[in-house]
Amino acid sequence: MCARQKTVLIGVTGCIAAYKSCEIVRAFQKRGVRAKVVMTEHATEFVGPTTFRALTREPVAVGLFDEPGSPIHHISLAQEADLMLIAPCTANVIAKLAQGICDDLLTTTALATKAPLVIAPAMNVNMYEHAATQRNMQILRERGCHFIEPDEGFLACGDTGKGRLADIGEIVDACLEILEVEQDMAGLNVLVTAGPTQEPIDTVRCITNHSSGKMGYAIAEAAAARGAQVHLISGPVSIPEPQGVQVHRVTTAQQMLEASQELVDGCDIVVCTAAVCDFRPAAPASRKLKKGDGTSELEHIELVQNPDILATLASCEGRRAIVGFAAETDDVVEYAKGKLASKRADLIVANDVSEGKVFGSERNEVWLVTAEGEEHVPEMDKVHLADVVLDKTLSLYDLKMA
């Protein structure tokens, strides 16, 4: 299994570029890195803490005494970080750090942490080029601080020159290189199915389910972040495509099966998260069916069973790890055990979907069921859960390949 998930503490200072910190948070999450945020009070004039709480699902730190559960908040934050990134960082905060001045939570935490400190400055070109700023940056470099140089271009103040916050991808890549996030799936080909299928009744109606596709998309993106080549076969969803992933759009179960069969031969790992409709209308109408009084054409729709995609892929020739998902409303683990055997899968990820749980949400609680037993995974956001599932999958893949 790979190392524990890394945590980046993102410091946000009072700069117009503070809104870009939201993009930085999401970029880290998509790469499988936990992001927490600490802000200066001036930063909250540009972006509110609520925005970062919604993005990270973590408390957002602003004041030295705003966390009643941690009497020494800056120490707990400092110890939690594997890396601290201040982006954007103003000339004022750079000056404070250079002189060891810590008069707020952000600067106090930066002085207390032993984690690598990365600074991405953003300011007016004249402020950036000023001798005092350049000297302060040099002092921090000599202490081991990493700087991500700002870009040149049109600045918010109307001037043109160096001082614009560096590209988001450049910032995140630099931090990941320092963190040495493990590319433990490099060289592997991964196939993921996600979302619902839609089985047409007529030209305007269909049979479907409540799957949002979020879990499958999170797994696909996490696998790509860990170095894998990923094909994502997606039913109809309304979420953005994951980065670094080849997406194949389908609608029906039959289309999903055919797309999966075309790709499975070259895959090392198959993860079937899709909520495939069990049945479909035998003869979809080519027009809109009517619902007349007592003569409704919709009263009796003949259904036929859809193909079992998980079982079909598990029976294909070749050695690969096969992962399925089981959405149950009762006896969750027992049904998952039965599915593990009947589908010939290596791992079943079982979740309780009773009372409207899971579908469409950002979080999930699951049980990882294998031939050796089951392991409970407490509720967490799906971005982090994706790595938990991949960790378990990799361990099973290594056993099969040994």
Using one digit for the tens of pLDDT, what is the confidence trace for 372-390? 999 999 988 888 899 899 9
Q: How much is the pTM?
A: 0.66
CATH number of 7-179: 3.40.50.1950
Strands 229-234, 279-281: pairing kind: unpaired
Question: CA 294, 299, 300, 304: dihedral to nearest 10 degrees?
Answer: 170
pLDDT score for 67:
55
Residues with Cβ within 8 Å of 397's Cβ and at least 6 positions away in sequence, in order, are 188, 268, 269, 320, 321
Cα–Cα dist 34/179, whole Å:
12
pLDDT score for 290:
83
Which residues of the chain have a pLDDT value below 70? 1-5, 64-74, 155-158, 292-295, 356-358, 360
pLDDT score for 356:
63
Cβ burial, residue 240 (10 Å; 0-12/13-18/19+): exposed
pLDDT score for 68:
45
Question: CA 106, 173, 35, 79: dihedral to nearest 10 degrees?
Answer: -60
* Token pair in block for residue 88: 């954007």
Return the CATH class of domain 189-284+297-401: alpha beta
Residue type, 352: D
Do domains 7-179 and 189-284+297-401 share one topology? The answer is yes
Cα–Cα dist 243/74, whole Å:
34
Cα–Cα dist 389/387, whole Å:
5
3-state helix, strand, coil in the chain (%, to 5): 35, 25, 40
Residue type, 350: A
Residues with Cβ within 8 Å of 401's Cβ and at least 6 positions away in sequence, in order, are 319
Residues with Cβ within 8 Å of 346's Cβ and at least 6 positions away in sequence, in order, are 321, 322, 323, 370, 371, 393, 396, 400
pLDDT score for 61:
82
- The helix (run of H) or strand (run of E) holding residue 36 is strand 34-39
* Token pair in block for residue 228: 């894998």
Cα–Cα dist 191/268, whole Å:
8
* Token pair in block for residue 301: 């729709």
Domain boundaries, the chain: 7-179, 189-284+297-401
- The helix (run of H) or strand (run of E) holding residue 45 is none
Catalytic residue set: 157
pLDDT score for 2:
42
